[in-house]
Amino acid sequence: MKVIKQRYSDLLDLEREEKLTLIVNERPLDLITEFGLKRYYCGFYNAPLDGDDGFLRYCSGNGETVEEALLDYMEVLSGGTIIVNPGKKDRREIRIPW
């Protein structure tokens, strides 16, 4: 667990430094079995990823454990830019460094 925690510590540091809210949820069992979804998903609240095509995409990380979901979310965000509070006066862009 300690090694895994060090691997996603950059994500938790970003959450703290940029005052973001990282949401981690567990899916209901019926959705997991019916649609083959992973048990946990996570993502930053109101911070979509800026797509190459000019569209914003709300993305999430998925995994059978919370740790797997966090690591998957890091991969999704890797090298991208998230837009915090899009469409509002306090909108800001954050380049993901990893």
pLDDT tens track for 26-35 = 999 998 989 9
- Evaluate whether 26 touches 13 at the Cβ level (below 8 Å): no
Share of the chain above pLDDT 90, in %: 76
Instruction: Report the chain's mean pLDDT, rounded to a whole number.
Output: 91
List, for residues 45-79, the tens digit of each pLDDT value.
Answer: 999 999 888 899 999 999 999 999 999 999 999 99
Here the tokens at position 65 are 């454990």
In whole angstroms, what separates CA 72 from the centre of its chain?
8
pLDDT at 10 over 80: yes
Residue 1 — very low, low, confident or very high, per pLDDT cuts 50/70/90? very low
pLDDT at 98 over 90: no
- Evaluate whether 97 touches 55 at the Cβ level (below 8 Å): no
Neighbours of 65 (CB within 10 A): 13
